[in-house]
């Protein structure tokens, strides 16, 4: 079965003992790990308990599909319910999961996967089973991200001004664990109790993953093919999702739209840059100033449409998301290079 909305939180707090397999999948690897850790700790008492929690590789299960059922049926030396963890879940696990669901293990299998399309055999097997649960882990939207921000800062007796919260929501959200890590760093910087302002955010979040995403986006908007290629390869190696990159691009383009509108209203480049919200980090401002001149309104409209179409294709077509994302980024870089030549 597939759980959504409030049912996810309810299940993580009190898992149904009849469930023998849980699949976490989606673009937000940090949220997948966070939810998997919570579930394992709830069932086993301690996610690091070597007697109650074991980890099995995908390759080991692929070679012996009965291995998964055997591991889940084993009785822990210390008593209680056994938890079997699998990282990097793939469709090659489908047969072993089917064998598990046909058996009667006393343990729980927790599978962490990446983005699985609707036609994924592993995802289908879990979603159709009565004794298995599939939980999608999507990137935080603006509302859920602001709740995470308030919750994490609140643990440190810290609040954020409305503008600071908006800036944080714009720059974070590509990965739940990274979001919490950056908020933890921000809280330590400010000290408790306290209040976060925009200046604090700009001082602390400058090396966050969101700024790394913006650097990749900026390379594309500059037409810097070599830097773009290196950035995309690094992002892929670090597991950054295509959706996170596309949304970072959309946010960046929207700020260029703001800047062009300010310039059209009579402001000079410096005034227009200062008016952009959320603010552009100082490391990226020289590039952004160039791009304010380079990207004409009609080019920005084309670019935003391409990004929106690509995100829709990532969600609906089943085509490789990383390749779709890379293709549109290089296409945008080509537009930037052509615009530079025509100036």
Average the pLDDT over 323-336 and give the result: 96
Mean pLDDT (the chain, rounded): 90
pLDDT band of 217, cuts 50, 70, 90? very high
pLDDT at 42 over 80: yes
At 22, phi and psi to the nearest 5?
A: -130, 130
At 121, phi and psi to the nearest 5?
A: -70, -35
Nearest to 160 by CA among 118, 125, 129, 199: 199
What angle, rounded to 10 degrees, do the helices at 242-264 and 321-342 form?
30
Locate 209 and state its tokens: 């993953």
Q: What pLDDT score does 199 carry?
A: 84
Q: Which fold has domain 2-136?
A: Rossmann fold (3.40.50)
Which positions ≥6 away from 48 have C-beta within 8 Å? none
SS3 209: helix
Locate 128 and state its tokens: 């159709």
Are residues 19 and 10 in contact, defined by beta-carbon separation less than 8 angstroms? no
Distance CA 140, CA 148 (A): 9
**pLDDT tens digits, one per residue of 249-295:** 998 999 999 999 999 999 999 999 998 988 887 778 889 999 999 99
Higher pLDDT, 124 or 168: 124
At 64, phi and psi to the nearest 5?
A: -145, 95
Position of tokens 């920005």?
300
Average the pLDDT over 227-233 and give the result: 92
**pLDDT tens digits, one per residue of 96-105:** 999 999 988 8
Q: Which fold has domain 209-342?
A: Zinc Finger, Delta Prime; domain 3 (1.20.272)
pLDDT at 208 over 60: no
Nearest to 257 by CA among 297, 222, 219: 297
pLDDT at 323 over 80: yes
Q: What pLDDT score does 109 carry?
A: 97
Least confident of 136-140, 199-203, 294-298, 300-304: 199-203
Residue ranges of E strands in the chain: 2-3, 21-25, 53-55, 83-89, 108-113, 132-136, 158-160, 194-196
pLDDT band of 9, cuts 50, 70, 90? very high
**pLDDT tens digits, one per residue of 144-203:** 888 999 999 999 999 999 888 888 887 787 778 888 888 998 999 998 899 999 888 877
Half-sphere exposure of 303 (CA within 13 A, CB side): 31
**209-342: same fold as 142-207?**
no
pLDDT band of 210, cuts 50, 70, 90? low
Dihedral angle at the C-alpha atoms of 164, 169, 170, 173, nearest 10 degrees? 150
DSSP state of 108: E
Nearest to 329 by CA among 278, 238, 253, 239: 253
Distance CA 207, CA 243 (A): 20
Q: What pLDDT score does 118 carry?
A: 87
Q: Which fold has domain 142-207?
A: Helicase, Ruva Protein; domain 3 (1.10.8)
pLDDT at 244 over 90: no
* Domain locations along the chain: 2-136, 142-207, 209-342
Helix, strand, coil share of the chain (percent; to 5): 65, 10, 25
**Alpha helical stretches, state H, 239-343:** 242-264, 269-275, 285-294, 297-316, 321-342
């Amino acid at each position: 079965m597939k759980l959504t909305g409030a049912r996810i939180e309810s299940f993580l707090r009190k898992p149904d003992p009849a469930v023998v397999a849980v699949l976490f999948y989606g673009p937000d690897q940090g949220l997948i790990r966070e939810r998997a850790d919570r579930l394992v700790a709830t069932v086993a008492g301690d996610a690091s308990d070597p007697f109650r929690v074991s980890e099995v590789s995908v390759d080991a299960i692929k070679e012996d599909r009965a291995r998964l059922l055997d591991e889940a049926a084993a009785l822990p030396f210390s008593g209680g319910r056994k938890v079997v963890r699998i990282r990097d879940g793939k469709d090659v696990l489908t047969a072993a999961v089917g064998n598990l669901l046909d058996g009667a293990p006393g343990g729980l299998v927790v599978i962490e996967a990446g983005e699985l399309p609707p036609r994924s055999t592993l995802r289908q097997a879990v979603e159709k089973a009565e004794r298995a649960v599939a939980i999608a882990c999507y990137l935080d939207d603006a509302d859920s991200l602001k709740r995470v921000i308030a919750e994490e800062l609140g643990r440190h007796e810290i609040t954020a001004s409305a503008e600071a919260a908006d800036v944080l929501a714009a720059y974070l959200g590509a990965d739940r664990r990274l979001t919490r890590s950056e908020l933890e760093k921000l809280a330590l910087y400010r000290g408790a109790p306290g209040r976060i302002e925009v200046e604090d955010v700009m001082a602390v979040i400058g090396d966050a993953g969101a700024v790394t995403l913006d650097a990749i986006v900026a390379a594309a908007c500059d037409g810097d093919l070599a830097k773009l290629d290196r950035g995309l390869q690094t992002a892929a190696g670090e597991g950054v999702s295509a959706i996170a990159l596309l949304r970072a691009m959309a946010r960046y383009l929207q700020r260029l739209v703001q800047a062009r509108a300010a310039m059209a209203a009579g402001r000079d480049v410096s005034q227009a840059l200062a008016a952009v919200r959320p603010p552009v980090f100082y490391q990226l401002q020289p590039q952004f100033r160039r791009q304010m001149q380079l990207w004409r309104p009609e080019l920005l409209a084309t670019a935003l449409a391409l990004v929106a179409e690509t995100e829709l294709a990532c969600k609906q077509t089943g085509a490789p998301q990383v390749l779709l994302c890379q293709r549109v980024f290089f296409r945008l870089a080509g537009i930037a290079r052509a615009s530079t030549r025509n100036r």
